Structure 1
Amino acid sequence: MYMNEFFCVIRRKKHELMVPVESHFPAQYSLCSSFGKYKNLLAAIPASEQQNFKNLPWGHLAETPELQFSGQIVHMLLLRMVRRQPVDELWFSIRGKIFKFTFQDFCAITHLPAYTTRPRFVKNSDKGSVAKLFFKRQKRVTYEELKETMAALNPKRRVDSLAVVKLASLFVVDCMLLARNHDTKINANHLDWVEDFENFKKYPWALESYNLMVSNMKSLMRDQPEKYEAAVANKPKYKNCKFTVWALPHVLQVWAYEKIPGLAPRCGTKFKSEEASLFN
């Protein structure tokens, strides 16, 4: 009897929530990723290069389905995140069962290759480079500047078609997969790496996106509910925490629809799928 009680305590500790149920709090979420928001990505690419772009590891992301981001679902999951879990996974305790979101799930849903090896990039001449053609050699480009440049691109403009494909690829990587706050600068290395396009295609962008999303999600619940309670104490009219989610949280949303029984009907979503994927 005592042994059974001991193991029950161990299991409870193992599945202890980061935020206790009695301390759950309301929150609003804002999205950084341009996934699903940019309908004319392919149209901005010269017709002669559109099929080549589609054939890239991330090319299918240019033809995104309608999927509204749900902060409600993400918050429901994060409030049920367990305290003890691997650093590179997201574990949730729901109705006494542990659900594990992994890199394999991320790749299966996004259809991105599960590369893990980082290639060694070769520095190329900047003749016709993305930085030179679109950013006046500027190397410190913000996410917002990259989005504005892509949106303003005229397919009739006489410019090297491969440079346009590289720019569109940079947009997908930085504004969809690795999206952060709009005024944040993108990794300056990316402007150099995209010139070595063969290695750029082999880079583990899915892994980078996944790791960024996982670390961001965990950081949102760190030191909660203490932060929320302190805010309420200082400002009695304070109602909701306001969180910004990075990378591609839509993937976690699709995974939840598929894995957690009864979630989709409860959240009023119209998403229907026999298989967890963004591209059925």
Structure 2
Amino acid sequence: MNLLTTKHFFYYFLQMSLEYILSPNQWFSATITQFANHQYFKDFVELINADDQASLLCSLFHGFICGNMNKKQNDKFSSKLTHEFIIRLINCGKNNEVWVQLDDRVACFGLQEFCFITGLPCHEPTVDLNFSNTRLRDEYFDGSKRITMIRLSEVFHICEDREDKFKLGLVMFVECVLKPTRRHIDYRTLGMVEQLDEFLTYPWGRKAYFVLLHSLQESQLERIRRMQQNNQAECKYSLHGYPLVFQYWIYEAFPKIGLQFGHRIRTSLKCPQMHKWQPQMVLAENVIKEFLAIEEVCSFQYTIKYMFYSL
């Protein structure tokens, strides 16, 4: 068991009780939307040249890409399940990770967990990417700084220049899957990708993690206030970044929940943990709440047995 797995194991099953950020009597129903669309990634990998596919498989993205290429369908994001864990966040005294409490079990979701789930590079950046190059933006987007994800995808599909298509696909992967914060991309990434070798070794996983983390940390009380102000029966909010990672972390941290709402994929591939799960159908909120109320969901004996079995 390596250092990452050891930390992953012992943090998850530490028995402790801390204060919820939102007290249980304030918990509310909600529907979560996301900007990330995994179809953009599938289009990127399937439509680029075979030599460029090989370059990706030799890059720091290889684990993430290899697992995704072997999945037959896009993974389903469970809005209701994710929300049930967001309202169970506790005050952990740290701003670079979040902790969840379910019954008497506490689980940590931090940068190491994100890396463990996705296999994306999450190290400290060793170089700063320069975004001053405007060639791609000038040539394909008339120099505009307001470029939607849909427009980027359209340009990628019709681009006939092999090198530019690869670069546009990389930008689409980063901006539309890993770290979207709205329906418009960060135009600066079009300049960064011109430094192709540095772009392929840049820790985009680290960037994606902090975008998702800040979205998870957004005030739940503020969401309630907006719901009341708009006279909404149910709260609706969006998560930035790549929310599916948090869902797969739930499966790993609470294996009985993973087996109830997901399907464990047995594979000989050396790929990140998120590619060893396939979500089942998206279930109704009452079904999820009833299951989370079962005392055995966090069974310590079951968890130890499952974790060693699944490593």
Note closer, same or farther for the CA distance 1:271–1:69 as it changes in structure 2 (3 Å cut): farther
Determine the structure 1 residue equivalent to 2:141: 135
Query: Structure 2 counterpart of 1:107, which letter?
Result: C
Higher RCO (C-alpha under 8 Å, 6+ residues apart): 1
In the alignment of these two chains, the number of paired residues is: 253
1:241 pairs with 2:242: no
Q: Is the 8 A contact 1:107 1:206 kept in 2?
A: yes
C-alpha distance after superposition, 1:141-175 (max 9, x if no partner): 2333223323x336xx3x1x222111111111111
**Following the alignment from structure 1 to structure 2, what is the Cα–Cα distance between the partners of residues 227 and 83?**
22
Q: Is the 8 A contact 2:211 2:241 kept in 1?
A: yes
Equivalences for 1:265-280 in 2 at 5 Å?
265-266=259-260, 268-272=261-265, 277-280=273-276
Determine the structure 2 residue equivalent to 1:148: 154
- Residue 36 (structure 1) shift: 4.8
- Residue 271 (structure 1) shift: 4.5
TM-score by length of 1: 0.79
Gaps of 5+ in 2: 1-15, 277-311
Q: Is the 8 A contact 1:24 1:225 kept in 2?
A: no
SS of 1:109 mapped into structure 2: helix
Greater alpha carbon shift after TM alignment, 239-248 vs 200-209: 200-209
Determine the structure 1 residue equivalent to 2:104: 96
**Following the alignment from structure 1 to structure 2, what is the Cα–Cα distance between the partners of residues 273 and 27?**
33
Note closer, same or farther for the CA distance 1:205–1:221 as it changes in structure 2 (3 Å cut): same
SS of 2:241 mapped into structure 1: coil
- Residue 222 (structure 1) shift: 4.4
Determine the structure 1 residue equivalent to 2:217: 218
**Following the alignment from structure 2 to structure 1, what is the Cα–Cα distance between the partners of residues 99 and 79?**
18
SS of 2:222 mapped into structure 1: coil
**Following the alignment from structure 1 to structure 2, what is the Cα–Cα distance between the partners of residues 57 and 240?**
41
Q: Is the 8 A contact 2:98 2:109 kept in 1?
A: yes
- Residue 38 (structure 1) shift: 4.9
Runs (4+) of structure 1 exceeding 4 A deviation are: 122-126, 224-228, 271-276
- Residue 122 (structure 1) shift: 5.2
SS of 1:41 mapped into structure 2: helix
Note closer, same or farther for the CA distance 1:50–1:261 as it changes in structure 2 (3 Å cut): closer
Equivalent in 28, 31, 38 of residue 28 of structure 1? 31
C-alpha distance after superposition, 1:92-136 (max 9, x if no partner): 11112211011011111111122212513357876xx43244323
- Residue 227 (structure 1) shift: 4.5
Query: Structure 2 counterpart of 1:81, which letter?
Result: L
TM-score by length of 2: 0.72
**Following the alignment from structure 2 to structure 1, what is the Cα–Cα distance between the partners of residues 29 and 110?**
26
Equivalent in 249, 252, 256 of residue 258 of structure 1? 252
Determine the structure 1 residue equivalent to 2:303: none
Equivalences for 1:189-200 in 2 at 5 Å?
189-200=188-199
Gaps of 5+ in 1: 1-10
Judging by fraction of residues, say which structure has more helix: 2
RMSD across aligned C-alpha pairs, in angstroms?
2.7
Q: Is the 8 A contact 1:27 1:243 kept in 2?
A: yes
Note closer, same or farther for the CA distance 1:113–1:39 as it changes in structure 2 (3 Å cut): closer
SS of 1:223 mapped into structure 2: helix
Note closer, same or farther for the CA distance 1:117–1:206 as it changes in structure 2 (3 Å cut): same
Structure possessing the higher radius of gyration over alpha carbons: 1
- Residue 18 (structure 1) shift: 1.4
**Following the alignment from structure 2 to structure 1, what is the Cα–Cα distance between the partners of residues 39 and 133?**
34
Note closer, same or farther for the CA distance 1:153–1:259 as it changes in structure 2 (3 Å cut): same
Note closer, same or farther for the CA distance 1:63–1:28 as it changes in structure 2 (3 Å cut): same
C-alpha distance after superposition, 1:6-60 (max 9, x if no partner): xxxxx76xx1111111221110011210225653322321234222233333354
**Following the alignment from structure 1 to structure 2, what is the Cα–Cα distance between the partners of residues 131 and 217?**
32
Note closer, same or farther for the CA distance 1:195–1:276 as it changes in structure 2 (3 Å cut): closer
1:79 pairs with 2:87: yes
C-alpha distance after superposition, 1:215-237 (max 9, x if no partner): 00111524354544x34xx63xx
Note closer, same or farther for the CA distance 1:202–1:38 as it changes in structure 2 (3 Å cut): closer
